[in-house]
Amino acid sequence: MQLKSKDLLGIRELDGEEIELILDTAESFREISTRAVKKVPTLRGRTIVSLFLEPSTRTRVSFELAGKRLSADVVNISARASAVAKGECLKDTAKTIEAMNADLVVMRHSAAGAPHFLAKLIECGVINAGDGAHEHPTQALLDLFTIKERLGKIEGLQVVVIGDIAHSRVARSNILALTKLGARVTVVGPPTLIPMGIGEMGCEVSYDLDTVLGQADVVYALRIQLERQTETLFPSLREYAALFGLNEERAGRLKKNALIMHPGPMNRGIEITAEVADLPQSVVTDQVANGVAVRMAILYLLIGGGEGA
Amino acid sequence: MPDVLIRGGRVINPANKTDAVLDVLVEDGKVKMVKKDISVKSADVIDASGLIVCPGLIDMHVHLREPGREDEETIASGTRAAVKGGFTAVACMPNTDPVVDNASVIELILERAQNEGVAHVLPVGAITKGLKGEELSEMGELIRVGAVAFSDDGNSVMNAEVMRRALEYSVMLDALIIVHAEDMNLSGRGQMNEGFYSTLLGLKGVPVAAEEIMIARDMILAEMIEARVHITHVSTAGSVRLIRQAKERGVRVTCEATPHHLVLTEALLESYDTNYKVNPPLRTEVDVLALREGLKEGTIDAIASDHAPHALHEKEREFDYAPFGIVGLETTLPLMLTELVESGELSYTQLIEKLSCNPARILGLEAGSLSVGSPANVTVFDPKVKVKVDVSSFESKSRNSPLSGWELIGMAKYVLVDGKLVLRDGRVA
Amino acid sequence: MAFKEKTTIMDRGAIQRALTRIAHEIVERSGGAENLALVGIRSRGVHLASRLARKIGEIEGITPPLGALDITFYRDDIGTRPQPKASVTEITFDVTGKDIILVDDVLYTGRSVRAAMDAIFDLGRPTTIQLAVMIDRGHRELPVRADFVGKNIPTSQREEVRVNLEEEDGIDAVILGEEVT
């Protein structure tokens, strides 16, 4: 079985079978990262352009490692260093990448839909590494992989996503991916951070963390952007932490095997306390490790194949 | 200028309730005769059999971009686009560079229109200087040199006190205030209608309240002051309801909707195609139905394109960075014929009222009629011909239409502006 | 495409006898089982390796360690055909210094063996690698030969050899057939 598109633009465009394929394939790649020689020749001679037009360290490094462990050549273009900073429009950047015969572009952009725009301009595949408040599909896939690894399944799980749903691409991709594989998702946060119509994406909405905590198999705390406070979306970080922060008292009321997740980087003391972040149920570092394997799987599935028999 | 005889067309002149196959004779720029079987010795004869002959269409909301952005549109190209689309007159909005807030810009526009334009150009002056919403522009002076109405279109007059004074002042001048209703704090950096789709697509939303709050405010002010207001590009079901209620109370309000808000919905933005990016944003199916209902019952008086040309390089961008706007002059008539008349929602007469008679009445023009003695502004269109929208053939300098490739029914064939044949067999003279 | 059976070349008894013989040959040629390790190529090579390990244990009293190798990422036809489904490599012992017996069901072009050797070298530096296969059907495209062979079967390139094993297929049998469209 193959992925249906040359691009990975969002979870929305994937069906359940494709998600399962990526997770299964990632299983094969996890072993490689544990070896002394963390490299296989699979994508030798392939060129991957990592086009990060919004600052990011984790995702960029994760993709770069994934590409290199598959022996692909990975070239980084970042906003500050590139012609984009000099006012080059994305269309020209796309044409330039095309002329360099890249096999795949991994793109991070602050504007929702930018990878879709790029994908229409160029022949080679595009992976969305996060676009505005829209989607971050590889993050959701690595989150699913981590949940499946720890809990053995996705279907039927109750997942609680806490925080700034309105501005979070991680939340959107996770809601879509989890519901596609049969999990039940509840988003929790102040109404100012819950976007209109989110329920139509197939999740429940709650404004009271304490009433939903007890049933959760997974609690997923989102990073709170500190500048939201000045946009009158909540009164203070102190009040946010009191109402929606994951602290020891709340962690104590979780089911015994419930997982605690966070996409990083964490604001310790705000959405999650240091004590909770370091609990054994916290799988934040697993998420990072699995990120490389999942991204290797995606690279392999997108450009490891070809036409013919 | 030779006389023109339009022979054998179905003449629809809502002004005197005519709807019959008749000939129309145009002489010296005026409608000379409308009756059966006119015979003349020498005239430019147009065979209009199978076509509809109606008073010249008026688009009361366009952006001609001149002065300032002549790369996107000029008075010459914009009026050619108008004529191609069947319009004999366009009201152009003041958000040019420089802004139409002083007499010299109006004089420049009218002079260009006189020299290079092929249709009537009706300049709309700014309500406030620089469209800043702070100080009133010299409305009396602007009317004296030719402004037909006032608007800060593109911006909203956010300060209610300033709007109150503008409305009061307009009463003295018997001037029309055209309201672009948008609470700019609520719309913020919004890119599309706020709701399920904006959430799904991760684009910042513009709530319907941003429009409705300002309409409600201006209805209250207009009622208090007894001023005349026209709400431009109405886009929500709530707006239609507010205007309906205001009309019932006797507020002197009229309004118009755009073809795109009458046809397209926010769901189309799934493609992130910036040609769907427009302000006010495309709304939901419920809103489209409410607008159509408003049009049928008469709450919505007119249809206007909000023709907003944009350079290709500005639209070919990330959605967040692309400008708002859709070109509409060359697609309005076919789209409305297809979507409203072919579907049975409006009669030809009703559509002609929305596109000609009512805009003329609202703007106080001597137009919108084919009665004998009126200026010969005439549109002749084929109501049944099938056309495919080809943006590359537009007379407009810009191509930002979401209708590219659409199959539509109907198009303008002949247009007379003050008796002069400016569109002949679908080609601009 | 469908597989059309022509004949059964080996039955359960023949397969068992061949494995017993190969186990003896491995022990004899290696002078014991102390330094041996068996690595099966996924998927049927793994089952064969596992049976060989058991037999060697019966003969020598020492069961050599067993590993499973997935060669997907080392294939030389990546990019020329849709991606094959990848599986996991599970080799928990250190291959460095070991005498590795690489086990596969059918030796044909030799390309899988080449890929398998590359994969093993990414895990460490074995002292020797030898190859054991159930069937050698000829048509080599690379300079590869087997050290231990269950049965040599001359075939035409149109033909296909299937090694069915109880662990995977519910029955032990080697079948010669043809792909028909």
> What is the total count of domains within chain B?
2
In CATH, the number for domain C2-77+84-180 is 3.40.50.2020
* H-run or E-run covering B196: helix B196-201
- The residue behind tokens 């390990």 is C53
Q: What is the pLDDT of residue A78?
A: 78
Same domain, A125 and A186: no
Amino acid A85: pLDDT: 55
Q: Do the Cβ atoms of A19 and A177 come closer than 8 Å?
A: yes
Contact at 8 Å (CB) between B188 and A232? no
Is B257 found in the same domain as B391?
no
Confidence of residue C155 (pLDDT cuts 50, 70, 90): very high
Between CA B144 and CA B129 the distance in angstroms is 17
- When pLDDT is averaged across residues B106-127 and rounded to a whole number, the result is 98
> A145 and A41 share a domain?
no
Domain boundaries of chain C, sorted by first residue = 2-77+84-180
Q: In sequence order, what E strands does B63-136 have? A: 87-92, 120-125
Q: Which of the two residues, A306 and B120, has the higher pLDDT score?
A: B120
Q: Are residues B295 and B385 in the same domain?
A: no
Q: Report the C-alpha gap between B232 and B19 in whole angstroms.
A: 30
- CA quadruple B192, B195, B199, B204: dihedral, nearest 10: 30
Chains touching C (at least 3 CB pairs under 8 A) are: A
E strand spans, chain A: 47-52, 73-78, 104-109, 125-131, 158-162, 184-188, 204-206, 218-221, 259-261
> C83 and A304 in contact by Cβ < 8 A?
yes
Question: C32 to each of B248, C52, C61, how far by Cα in Å?
Answer: 104, 14, 10
A250 and A109 in one domain?
A: no
In whole angstroms, what separates CA C172 from the centre of its chain?
15
Catalytic residue set of B: 306
Kindly report the nearest CA distance between residue A7 and chain C, in angstroms. Answer: 16
- Residue C38: both structure tokens together: 């068996």
- At B97, which CATH number? 3.20.20.140
| A305 confidence band (pLDDT: 50, 70, 90) | confident
Instruction: Put the strands of the sheet holding B302-303 in their side by side order.
Output: B57-62, B87-92, B120-125, B149-151, B177-179, B229-231, B253-257, B302-303
Contacts of A111 in chain B (CB under 8 A): 318-321
User: Per-residue pLDDT averaged across A282-291, rounded?
Assistant: 95
pLDDT, average across residues B378-405: 98
Q: Is B94 helix (H, G, I), strand (E, B) or coil?
A: coil
The count of other CB atoms within 10 Å of the CB of residue C50 is 17
B230 shares its domain with B271? yes
Contact at 8 Å (CB) between C6 and C177?
yes
pTM: 0.91
Asked whether residue A309 carries a pLDDT value surpassing 60, the answer given is: no
Q: What percent of chain C has pLDDT over 70?
A: 99
Question: Do A273 and A293 fall into the same domain?
Answer: no
Instruction: Measure A297 CA to nearest chain C CA, in Å.
Output: 9
Query: Domain residues for A83?
Result: 11-136+288-303
Tell me, yes or no, whether A102 lies in a domain. Answer: yes
CB contact under 8 A, A111 and B194: no
Question: Would residue B411 count as lying in a domain?
Answer: yes
Contact by Cβ (8 Å): B330, B405: no
Amino acid at A160: V
Residue among A57, A160, A45, A54 nearest A107 (CA): A54
Residue type, C142: L
Q: Distance between CA B230 and CA B253 in Å, rounded?
A: 6
Based on the domain organization, do A25 and A53 belong to the same domain? yes
**Which of B363, B383, B407 is the last residue in one of the domains?**
B363
Ordered alpha helix ranges (H), chain C: 12-30, 44-60, 111-121, 166-169
Confirm if B310 and B72 have CB atoms less than 8 A apart. Answer: yes
Task: Assess whether pLDDT exceeds 90 at residue C134.
Answer: yes
Which of C79, C83, C89 faces A31 most closely, judged by CB atoms?
C89
CB–CB contact A28 C70 (8 Å): yes
- Centre a 10 Å sphere on the Cβ of residue C181 and count the other Cβ atoms it contains: 4
Residue A4 located in a structural domain = no
Q: For residues B346 and B427, what is the distance between their CA atoms, to the nearest angstrom?
A: 27
Q: Any CB–CB contact under 8 A between A197 and chain B? A: yes
Q: Is it the case that residue C180 has pLDDT exceeding 90?
A: no
Q: Write out pLDDT tens, residues A60-111.
A: 999 999 999 999 999 998 766 556 655 678 888 888 898 989 999 999 999 9
Please indicate, yes or no, whether residues A174 and A279 belong to a single structural domain of this protein. Answer: yes
Task: Name the percent of chain C lying above pLDDT 90.
Answer: 80
B-A interface (Cβ pairs under 8 Å ≥ 3): yes
ipTM metric: 0.93
The stretch A251-260 carries a mean pLDDT of 95
Whether the pLDDT of residue C101 is over 70: the answer is yes
List, for residues C74-89, the tens digit of each pLDDT value. 988 877 777 778 888 8
Same domain as A257, residue A148: yes
Residues A250 and A277 in one domain: yes
Overall number of domains in chain A: 2
- Which domain does B382 fall in, by range? 4-52+375-428
Q: List phi, psi (to 5°) of A26.
A: -60, -35
Joined tokens for residue B191? 């890119």
B318 with B403, same domain: the answer is: no
**Cβ-contact A196, B198 below 8 angstroms:** yes
pLDDT tens by residue, B42-79:
899 999 999 999 999 999 999 999 999 999 999 999 99
* pLDDT tens digits, B147-178: 999 999 999 999 999 999 999 999 999 999 99
Packed helices A90-99 and A114-121: angle between N→C axes, nearest 10 degrees: 50
Average pLDDT score over residue span B190-200: 98
Rounded average pLDDT over A263-278: 94
Q: How far is CA B278 from the centre of its chain?
A: 15
Of A299, A244, A254, A302, nearest in space to A279 by CA: A254
What pLDDT, on a 0 to 100 scale, did the predictor assign at position C1? 66
Which of C96, C139, C104 is closest to C120 using CA atoms?
C96
